[in-house]
Structures are given as structure tokens and as C-alpha cells.
């Protein structure tokens, strides 16, 4: 419980970002064919619970379900900085193919999931190393900064 509170607390602390709020209340729990063919995969709550972290069965302890380090982009389709990050994440996903997984979660479609992680501003990137606690960065970032973070946090290269 303490670890989960730390993670959720860290997510809540970093709330000074470029976009806030919600523009729609649509629910879509299925990946589209387009999303399945992309390197960056959209996640819904069910996918998140299977591929990243099942906070319903293990609420007190972070247990990463993935097979390699991951980035999760919490975004919205109407958010300008999120739109700037999208092609950068696509490029990084291809460059690091087989080394990391890159996921995206639309906060308007997955409000419950965003709320569970205290996402209050977007874009918010969750960096998940294999055997460590996740780390949060908010706001858009340049590709070189993103790659530096991937190398240091996820791949542990200096």
C-alpha cells in the first residue's frame, strides 16, 4: 500500500502541465485495426491490467506485468502538446523496437484509469523500468530528451 501511495502521490504532485480537463465522455474498450498495426499501442483498462499493472488484484504493491520496459503516454486527442508528442513517440517506438514497449491511453476514453493514477494534466508520460518503481514526467519533451530518459531510466545506459 505504501509503494502504491508513493506512486500515486508522485503522479498527483506533477500536475503543472500543458493541458487539463476533459472534452468527451466516450468509452471505447476495443483496439482498432489501425492501433494494432502501429508500433505505439493504445490501451484500455482491460489491456492495462494485463500488460502493465493489475492494481485491482495487487493494490498494495506495484507489480509490472510487462516483458520489457515501457512508456505510457496519457494523452487526449484535443491536446496540442499531446499532438506534438505523438510523432516523437512513434519514432522512438520504432527506434527502440524490441527493447521497450510504448503505449498510449486516451484520458477521455479511459477516465477511470486516468483517475486511478491521478492524471490531472496531459501529456503525462509514465516510464516503467523492469524491476523498479515507475517514474512520471509531464509535458511535451523533445526527442533527444525523451531518448536520454529512455536510455537512463528504462535501459539503464549512462
> Active-site positions?
79, 82
Beta bridge partners of 72: 103, 126
What is the layout of strands, in order, in the sheet containing 135-138?
41-42, 101-106, 70-75, 124-128, 135-138
Contacts of 58 (CB under 8 A, 6+ apart): none
Amino acid at each position: 500500500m505504501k509503494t502504491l501511495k508513493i506512486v500515486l502521490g508522485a503522479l498527483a504532485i506533477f500536475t503543472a502541465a500543458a493541458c487539463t480537463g476533459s472534452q468527451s465522455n466516450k468509452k471505447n474498450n476495443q483496439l482498432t485495426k489501425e492501433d494494432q498495426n502501429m508500433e505505439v499501442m493504445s490501451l484500455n483498462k482491460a489491456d492495462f491490467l494485463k500488460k502493465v499493472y493489475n492494481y485491482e488484484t495487487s493494490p498494495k504493491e506495484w507489480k509490472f506485468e510487462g516483458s520489457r520496459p515501457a512508456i505510457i503516454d496519457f494523452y487526449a486527442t484535443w491536446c496540442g502538446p499531446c499532438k506534438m508528442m505523438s510523432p516523437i513517440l512513434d519514432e522512438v517506438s520504432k527506434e527502440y523496437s524490441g527493447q521497450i514497449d510504448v503505449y498510449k491511453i486516451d484520458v477521455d476514453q479511459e477516465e477511470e484509469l486516468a483517475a486511478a493514477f491521478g492524471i490531472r494534466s496531459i501529456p503525462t508520460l509514465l516510464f516503467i523500468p523492469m524491476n523498479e518503481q515507475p517514474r512520471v514526467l509531464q509535458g511535451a519533451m523533445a526527442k533527444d530528451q525523451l531518448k536520454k530518459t529512455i536510455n537512463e531510466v528504462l535501459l539503464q545506459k549512462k
